[in-house]
Structure 1
Amino acid sequence: MDTCRAPSSRSLSSSTLRSSDQVIDSRDNISALNGQTEFVNQGLILWNQIRQQWVGRSKTTECRSSDLREPRISWTATYDSLLGTNKPFKKPIPLFEMVDFLLDIWEEEGLYD
């Protein structure tokens, strides 16, 4: 299973929360200077920060070990040897590897163009 995950909102560091407080405080100060009170959506600010952690990750650096490991499906495996039985696999097979295997088989049999 792919282990590349962003931290949950429960595991956010205090620095992330402090930086959102700083953003909120600076906006409040600007509003106070103008003599207006402005609604600040703290949830949206935190959501954007968490989203940035997810989106900002580079897959090539984070998941490199999973991309470089040896394939779990043997090059000599056949459709029947893998899927012709109801026995579970010894180790989990990554989805991208299984899809690649099935596409190769289907292309050979003319089932996928």
Structure 2
Amino acid sequence: MADKKPAASKAAQKKSVPSIQVRIDRLNDYEGSNIKAFASANIGGAFAIHGIRVVDSQKGMFVAMPQSSHKDGNGNTKYSDIFHAVTAEARSELNEKVMDAYEQALAEQQDKAAEESEIEEQGIEPTM
């Protein structure tokens, strides 16, 4: 009779989320657009995701993964995620990192605009 392997505990089955680095590729300030930024992520130094979007909807800000679209048999457009997190922990971590990077990019943009405004008010020519 074959010996059965003992069932692994849930804690042992739970895998840690690899390190995630996110950068904002572009802030999007087009009037009327609900897309606020485009981001890229590096996961564990092994995978890169491009085309992540920060979206402002009626329900609030959220992170949208890259998608492809196609027409179904009735001519309706359907969307499929190209990339998505498998676990809730990984999804939460990725969303948090993207939103943190977005907030930081916004703050940097506002700081730069304030500096330029201050320089303009003082009548100092910016140097190159």
Q: Same fold (TM over 0.5)?
A: no
TM-score norm. by structure 1 comes to: 0.28
Higher RCO structure, 1 or 2 (CA under 8 Å, sep 6+): 1
More strand by share: 2
Q: Whose Rg is larger?
A: 1
More helix by share: 1
